[in-house]
Amino acid sequence: MARTNPAEYVRQVRQEVSKVTWPTRKETGITTAMVFVFVTIMALFFLVVDQVSAVAIQFILGVGG
């Protein structure tokens, strides 16, 4: 692998960073809200799965009320 001198490396990094498209404040807010909604839905899903599994295991083992 060829080595790049530090000045060339910095130039290449600056060139690549200039190509980055940063999200707008609105896009960031929408994406954040979507993440929170999805996490809430998944938490509820796993809560239900856990409760159903607990009931099924208690039924199989004949334990609990």
Report pLDDT digits (tens) over 8-48.
Answer: 999 999 999 999 999 999 999 999 999 999 999 999 999 99
Residues 22, 31, 26, CA angle at the centre, nearest 5°? 60
Burial of residue 8, with CB atoms counted within 10 A of its CB: 0-12 exposed, 13-18 middle, 19 or more buried: exposed
Task: Give the integer Cα–Cα distance in Å for 23 and 52.
Answer: 41
pTM across the whole model = 0.65
